[in-house]
């Protein structure tokens, strides 16, 4: 499906603004689709591969392979099955192209992530067997609580090979797919986890003050940059907001458009009431100063967003930015470029950091 999910989210807006807001800029890390699988790696070279359920499947089940970067990065492979009002104990029957898996066909015990999600974490031996079998097998089938699940393996080998490449494992003994004689010590160590200091700030301005400041900024923008933000006619939303930062600066969020399930907010930095010198903020991994379904948390100095590719929220992007005292720095980013019934909890993490909040 690739970028097709953008079209679903764009329909209610009928414009290019949402597309620009949702499309990531040049990523510090990346993801890629391989037939019925998608894979992504973050800034620490920690990678994940997911099987993609059919968009219209009545039962949703998927495999999730995770591996941290570095010579000692161990593989974790799990299976998630979504049901209704699940209760322990849970036994899952599995077959690979009709042949019982693991060998012997004994059902595997599952744990509960929540009342609707059962999870199996495969043993190291079963993980190795399944990865080897993926070269020829086409489908893993599962049965749970009277329901059947089909998990496609098409694209799984390519996804794992791509992960090997991203982590520098090709032709090493640690590779998932293309093993070679090179020692594990030749695999590069992951970069250090970024540590970002977020500065807690003052509370939101009172509604009347925020509205007045927003109106003043809109008047200035109408003359200086008329296409930067859609007018707020008050018909559906009246969401202009402002927060007191530090050094007399204020963060202003202007309503800049909406669809059926997405609200676009543009962000500017203003000193006092000097809207004529307002600075349009730039957000890493976003094309402009527009964020979707966003909110600022002054007590932690963090700005969050959750952009839905479609109404059920199974694709899109989510991230967090921290106020550093001079700008907003990216602290977390996850995306899902395929609308295939996957919860945001399982989206691909592309950037992570440690955030330290100071008052």
Q: Quote the radius of gyration of the chain (alpha carbons, Å).
A: 23
Indicate if the alpha-carbon torsion angle 248, 265, 232, 275 is positive or negative.
positive
pLDDT of residue 238: 64
Contact (Cβ atoms closer than 8 angstroms) between residue 295 and residue 346: no
Choose among 139, 171, 136: nearest CA to 157.
Answer: 136
pLDDT of residue 233: 61
Whether the bond between 215 and the residue before it is cis, its omega within 30 degrees of 0, is no
Contact (Cβ atoms closer than 8 angstroms) between residue 141 and residue 105: no
Choose among 113, 117, 120: nearest CA to 92.
Answer: 120
b or e along 236-247 (b: 16 or more beta carbons within 10 Å of the residue's beta carbon)?
A: eeebbbbbebee
Q: What tokens appear for 159 in the block?
A: 């996804």
Q: How many Å apart are CA 102 and CA 86, to the nearest integer?
A: 23
DSSP state of 154: T
Q: List, in sequence order, the alpha helices (H) in 70-171.
A: 124-133, 156-166
Contact (Cβ atoms closer than 8 angstroms) between residue 32 and residue 162: yes
DSSP state of 79: E
Contact (Cβ atoms closer than 8 angstroms) between residue 182 and residue 172: yes
Query: Can you tell me which residue has the tokens 């909406």?
Result: 258
Phi, psi of 254 (to 5 degrees): -105, 135
Choose among 194, 203, 195: nearest CA to 300.
Answer: 203
Phi, psi of 301 (to 5 degrees): 65, 30
Q: What tokens appear for 224 in the block?
A: 């200086």
pLDDT of residue 12: 40
Choose among 238, 228, 332: nearest CA to 287.
Answer: 228
Task: Characterize the bridge pairing of strands 108-114 and 90-96.
Answer: antiparallel
Q: Domain-by-domain residue ranges, the chain?
A: 45-186, 195-358
* DSSP codes of every residue in 244-274: E-STTEEEEEEEEEE-SS-EEEEEEEEETT-
Q: List, in sequence order, the alpha helices (H) in the chain.
A: 4-10, 16-22, 124-133, 156-166, 207-224
Q: Which fold has domain 45-186?
A: Immunoglobulin-like (2.60.40)
Contact (Cβ atoms closer than 8 angstroms) between residue 48 and residue 347: no
Contact (Cβ atoms closer than 8 angstroms) between residue 127 and residue 77: yes
DSSP state of 62: E
Indicate if the alpha-carbon torsion angle 217, 223, 224, 227 is positive or negative.
positive
Query: Can you tell me which residue has the tokens 């950037």?
Result: 351
pLDDT of residue 287: 81
Q: How many Å apart are CA 265 and CA 272, to the nearest integer?
A: 20
Walk along the chain (359 residues) and give the pLDDT tens digit of each residue: 333 333 333 334 433 444 444 544 444 558 999 999 999 999 999 999 999 999 989 999 999 999 999 999 999 999 999 998 899 999 999 999 999 999 888 999 999 999 899 999 999 999 999 999 999 999 999 999 999 999 999 999 999 999 999 999 999 999 999 999 999 999 999 999 999 999 999 999 999 999 999 999 999 999 999 999 987 666 555 679 999 999 999 999 999 998 888 999 999 999 999 999 999 999 998 889 999 999 999 999 999 999 999 999 999 999 999 999 999 999 999 999 999 999 999 999 999 999 999 99
């Amino acid at each position: 499906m690739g970028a097709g999910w953008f079209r679903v989210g764009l329909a209610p807006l009928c414009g290019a603004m949402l597309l620009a807001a949702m499309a990531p800029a040049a990523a510090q890390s990346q993801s890629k689709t391989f037939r019925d699988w998608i894979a992504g790696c973050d800034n620490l070279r920690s990678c994940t591969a997911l099987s993609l359920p059919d968009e219209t499947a009545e039962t949703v089940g998927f495999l999730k392979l995770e591996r941290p970067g570095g010579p000692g990065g161990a593989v974790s492979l799990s299976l998630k099955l979504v049901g209704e009002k699940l209760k322990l104990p849970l036994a899952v029957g599995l077959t690979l192209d009709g042949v019982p898996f693991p060998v012997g066909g004994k059902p595997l015990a599952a744990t509960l992530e929540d009342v609707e999600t059962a999870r199996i974490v495969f043993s190291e031996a079963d993980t190795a067997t399944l990865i080897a079998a993926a070269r020829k097998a086409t489908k893993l089938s599962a049965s749970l609580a009277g329901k059947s699940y089909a998990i496609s393996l098409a694209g799984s080998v390519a996804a794992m090979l791509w992960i090997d490449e991203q982590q520098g494992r090709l032709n090493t003994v640690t590779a998932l797919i293309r093993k070679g004689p090179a020692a594990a010590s030749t695999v590069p160590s992951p970069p250090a986890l970024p540590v970002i200091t977020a500065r807690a700030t003052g509370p939101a301005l009172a509604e009347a003050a925020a509205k007045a400041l927003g109106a003043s900024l809109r008047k200035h923008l109408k003359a200086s940059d008329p296409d930067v933000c859609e007018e707020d006619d008050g018909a559906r939303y009246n969401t202009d907001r402002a927060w007191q930062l530090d050094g007399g600066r204020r963060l202003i969020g202007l309503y800049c458009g909406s669809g059926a399930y997405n609200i676009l907010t543009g962000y500017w930095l203003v000193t006092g009431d000097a809207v004529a010198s307002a600075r349009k903020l730039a957000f890493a991994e976003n094309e402009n100063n527009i964020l979707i379904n966003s909110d600022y948390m002054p007590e932690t100095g963090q700005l969050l967003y959750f952009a839905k590719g479609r109404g059920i929220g199974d694709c899109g992007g989510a991230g967090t930015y921290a106020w550093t005292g001079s700008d907003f720095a990216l602290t977390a980013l996850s995306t899902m470029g395929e609308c295939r019934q996957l919860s945001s909890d399982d989206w691909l993490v592309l950037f992570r950091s440690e955030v330290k909040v100071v008052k």
